[in-house]
């Protein structure tokens, strides 16, 4: 959709997943580090399946929104009258959502007992992100300079994320790569919203001059600010989860130590009571 909602919808999807990953992966990492638990236990497998279902549902919502809005193509690719293309921009967005939905399906199948290679979930996600970048690369040709530039900045996050996820296929459960992916996903989400605000101002706000070089300079700087905010969010979540897991692990250790200290005393009391009973007899 060539409007504000068309950018806000995928932006919201990316923000949800980026924020969720910024919590899930540090939690998984610190639980494995402090508690010595297997990092691929049943709890996390269920979370991966639920995540795949949510990803597939989000993709389906995006496809339906692109195809069946009032001015959408309604599943028509070619106009039968003059044989022209019908709403190719909507079709490009639909294609992007389709590959993310396919990634969600692979996530679900990977954690079912079907002997699907585990790295296939990361590979399908890397391909989905790469295809998003490929589509957007040819999305804005012959458009005003600011429009081209603001979308080209998005490609930095997209292709960077695709490369990082592809490395995860071979280096699985690497917390650095997982945090890197989370930060770029948050950046994608917030930048989609920024694109919407710049190209389709709300509330009667003045339109941006698409040819002003200073606007291009500001947008570039704004992109860096967006990533700085994403890194701050990642850092805060990482720190909070570290202290929460460490504190809970410390409390659990104190309880265990306390029980171990009490057990010998209890045993001595029981032995003394039995000896006293035998003396009275």
Residue extents of the structural domains in the chain: 4-242
Has residue 179 got a pLDDT over 70? yes
State how far the alpha carbon of 174 is from the alpha carbons of 79, 103, 170, 181, 235, in Å: 49, 20, 10, 11, 17
Q: Are 90 and 72 in contact (CB under 8 A)?
A: yes
**CA 134 to CA 128: how far, in whole Å?**
10
> Helix axis angle, 213-280 relative to 4-34, nearest 10°?
30
**Confidence band for 252, pLDDT divided at 50, 70 and 90:** low
pLDDT of 265: 58
Percentage with pLDDT > 70 across the chain: 85
**CA 100 to CA 115: how far, in whole Å?**
22
Per residue in 212-235, pLDDT (tens digit) is: 999 999 999 999 999 999 999 999
The structure tokens listed for 176 are 């650095």
Q: How far is CA 82 from the centre of its chain?
A: 42
**CA 106 to CA 158: how far, in whole Å?**
20
Has residue 256 got a pLDDT over 70? no
The structure tokens listed for 97 are 């959502």
**Confidence band for 255, pLDDT divided at 50, 70 and 90:** very low
The structure tokens listed for 182 are 């989370």
Q: Are 181 and 171 in contact (CB under 8 A)?
A: no
The structure tokens listed for 101 are 């939905």
**CA 110 to CA 104: how far, in whole Å?**
10
The mean per-residue pLDDT over the stretch 146-166 comes to: 94
Give me the phi and psi of 171, to 5 degrees please: -115, 75
Q: Are 101 and 60 in contact (CB under 8 A)?
A: yes
Per residue in 49-102, pLDDT (tens digit) is: 899 999 999 999 999 999 998 888 889 898 878 888 988 888 999 999 999 999
């Amino acid at each position: 959709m060539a409007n504000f909602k068309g950018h806000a919808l995928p932006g919201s999807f990316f923000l949800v997943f980026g924020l969720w990953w910024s919590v899930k992966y540090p939690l998984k990492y610190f639980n494995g580090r402090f508690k010595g638990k297997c990092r691929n236990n049943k709890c996390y497998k269920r979370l991966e399946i639920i995540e795949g279902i949510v990803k597939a549902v989000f993709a389906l919502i995006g496809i339906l929104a692109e195809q069946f809005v009032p001015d959408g193509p309604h599943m028509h690719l070619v106009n039968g009258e003059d044989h022209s293309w019908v709403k190719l921009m909507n079709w490009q967005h639909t294609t992007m959502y389709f590959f993310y939905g396919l990634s969600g399906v692979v996530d679900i199948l990977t954690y079912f007992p079907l002997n699907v290679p585990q790295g296939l979930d990361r590979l399908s996600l890397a391909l989905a992100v790469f295809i998003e970048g490929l589509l957007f690369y040819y999305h804005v040709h012959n458009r005003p300079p600011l429009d081209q530039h603001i979308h080209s900045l998005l490609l930095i996050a997209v292709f960077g994320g695709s490369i990082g996820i592809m490395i995860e296929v071979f280096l699985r459960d690497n917390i650095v790569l997982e945090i890197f992916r989370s930060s770029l996903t948050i950046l994608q989400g917030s930048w989609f919203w920024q694109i919407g605000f710049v190209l389709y101002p709300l509330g009667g706000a003045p339109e941006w001059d698409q040819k002003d070089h200073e606007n291009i300079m500001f947008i570039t700087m704004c992109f860096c600010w967006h990533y700085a905010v994403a890194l701050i969010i990642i850092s805060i979540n990482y720190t909070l989860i570290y202290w929460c897991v460490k504190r809970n692990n410390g409390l659990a250790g104190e309880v265990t130590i306390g029980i171990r200290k009490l057990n010998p005393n209890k045993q001595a009391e029981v032995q003394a009571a039995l000896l006293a009973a035998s003396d009275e007899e």
